[in-house]
Amino acid sequence: MILEGWSWHSWLSLEAGDEGTMSHSSVTGNLLCLANRAVNLLFGNCRRLRHTSAHKVSLKPKSEFKPEKVAVVTKTTRYEFEQQRYRYAGLSEEDLKQLLAMKGSSYSGLLERHNIHTSNVEHIVKSLRAKKIDVRVVKRGEYDEEVVRWADAIISAGGDGTMLLVASKVLSKDKPVVGVNTDPERSQGHLCLPVRYTRAFPEALDKLSRGEFRWLWRQRIRLHLEGTGINPTPVDLHEQQLSLEQHSQAHRITTLGLHQRTPPENFSEPRLLPVRGLNEIFIGESLSSRASYYEISVDDGPWEKQKSSGLSISTGTGSKAWSYNINKLAEQAVGEILKIGKSQTGLNLPLDQNFIEKVTDQYNDALVFCSADGRLLYSVREPIVNRVFFSSRQRGFASKVCVRSRCWDACMVVDGGTSFEFNDGAIATISMSEEDLLRTVVLNS
């Protein structure tokens, strides 16, 4: 494909100046400019939107932030998970130690990380109560709509996974959500406060109460389901850490158990699901080696049949996460492409490692866009292209994406943790709304 405004003559003119040659630095500079133009064409006005949307949502902070009731939602540590998993089998603590050793896991290491997390949660709760704030501590498995209604603000005590779960059930943009990384050595915590506040949480509370912060609004994804055989009851994958067999059984048990009262339905009209996606929605077969078959329509365009390894639909927040890793280019691939470009065009490309790194970084950096951006980024993973199936675009921005499932045992997974059945006949409409903005905080430095 020749980029808009560029001909093959334009490419060659980079190489041949008035005297027939250009310097190494000129070629490098021109190639980087060309790469930048290509990125802008592929991603539209992403950078401009990132700048303008930041102005749109960086509102002046309130004079103070003093909630009366705060829910602290804590993660399930690996130690707790293993305890619960094997206690059901009647194993003692000593049996658990031996079993973990056989699996190559350290009982003492898991207990140490659990104790660090627990200590940090206690520190958060003690700091809140010192401010005369009513506190409820709930495990992530106990976190529900009633807890959300009760609280004026919610603190996620864990890592990014816990923050994603907490955010998914907060449907009002008036309810602040604050993430605290309770095990900074083992969790990145991109969505949490800086790690220094983990052990200095009173300082964070003081800044909040004095208004030394700004609101950071994050766009989220909403989901409408319609079609046949719809089961709107989700499975919590984080809590259960399910295998494929258990995952399928869990969905069947949900259908047979809870839906004895409410059997699977046919929705003639789209039904809004009571969950919001902060990072991404993934649609695909449960068995990763099986191709996912679906139809897709972007911004009310024509339906297109596709087979692929699944479909990811991301927010600006999620553009730093899985979506980034789906779409990023490796230096090895960039180097090989540049070599082909050099041989095909005769350009005197500087194929040293420094130049390859610059091109790679510039391309990959452009995959990240602002958390307040109102666009979705859809990515088709490993599309199958033949005379029956094709993918007109493997990646692109959209305001709305509709997907009709033709799968056998597929799921629609919200932020890697909440899974809905999504099999043949189900239709999902993925979009954004200003109503769904998530209110988070950035403390002043």
> Do 378 and 361 have their domain in common?
no
Token pair in block for residue 261: 């009262």
pLDDT at 52: 40
Q: Render pLDDT for 372-399 as a digit per residue (tens, 0 to 9).
A: 999 999 999 999 999 888 888 899 999 9
Domain assignment of residue 163, yes or no:
yes
Domain assignment of residue 61, yes or no:
no
> Do 177 and 94 have their domain in common?
yes
Domain assignment of residue 58, yes or no:
no
What proportion of the chain, given as a percentage, has pLDDT over 90? 64
Domain assignment of residue 40, yes or no:
no
pLDDT at 255: 43
Query: When comparing pLDDT for 350 and 35, which is higher?
Result: 350
Q: Render pLDDT for 188-223 as a digit per residue (tens, 0 to 9).
A: 899 999 999 999 999 999 999 999 999 999 999 999
d(CA 415, CA 238): 10
The residue type of 236 is: D
Least confident of 16-25, 131-140, 341-350, 372-381: 16-25
Domain that holds residue 169: 69-212
The set of residues, in sequence order, having a beta carbon less than 8 Å from that of 178 and lying 6+ positions away, is 153, 154, 155, 156, 193, 440, 441
> Do 254 and 394 have their domain in common?
yes
Q: How confident is the model over 144-152, as a mean pLDDT?
A: 96
| CATH code where residue 414 lies | 2.60.200.30
> Do 110 and 204 have their domain in common?
yes
pLDDT at 238: 67
> Do 182 and 97 have their domain in common?
yes
Domain assignment of residue 439, yes or no:
no
Which of 155, 186, 212 corresponds to the end of one domain?
212
> Strands 134-139 and 69-74, how do they pair?
parallel
| Tally of domains in the chain | 3
d(CA 166, CA 201): 19
Domain assignment of residue 352, yes or no:
yes
> Do 76 and 166 have their domain in common?
yes
> Do 252 and 311 have their domain in common?
yes
Which three-class secondary structure state does DSSP give residue 22? coil
> Strands 153-158 and 418-421, how do they pair?
unpaired
Least confident of 81-95, 106-120, 139-153, 173-187: 81-95
Q: What is the pTM of this model?
A: 0.79
Average pLDDT, the chain: 83
Q: How confident is the model over 12-33, as a mean pLDDT?
A: 41
Q: How confident is the model at residue 265 (pLDDT cuts 50, 70, 90)?
A: low
> Do 99 and 165 have their domain in common?
yes
> Do 419 and 344 have their domain in common?
no
> Do 388 and 287 have their domain in common?
yes
| CATH code where residue 192 lies | 3.40.50
Domain assignment of residue 291, yes or no:
yes
> Do 361 and 267 have their domain in common?
no
pLDDT at 64: 67
Domain assignment of residue 30, yes or no:
no
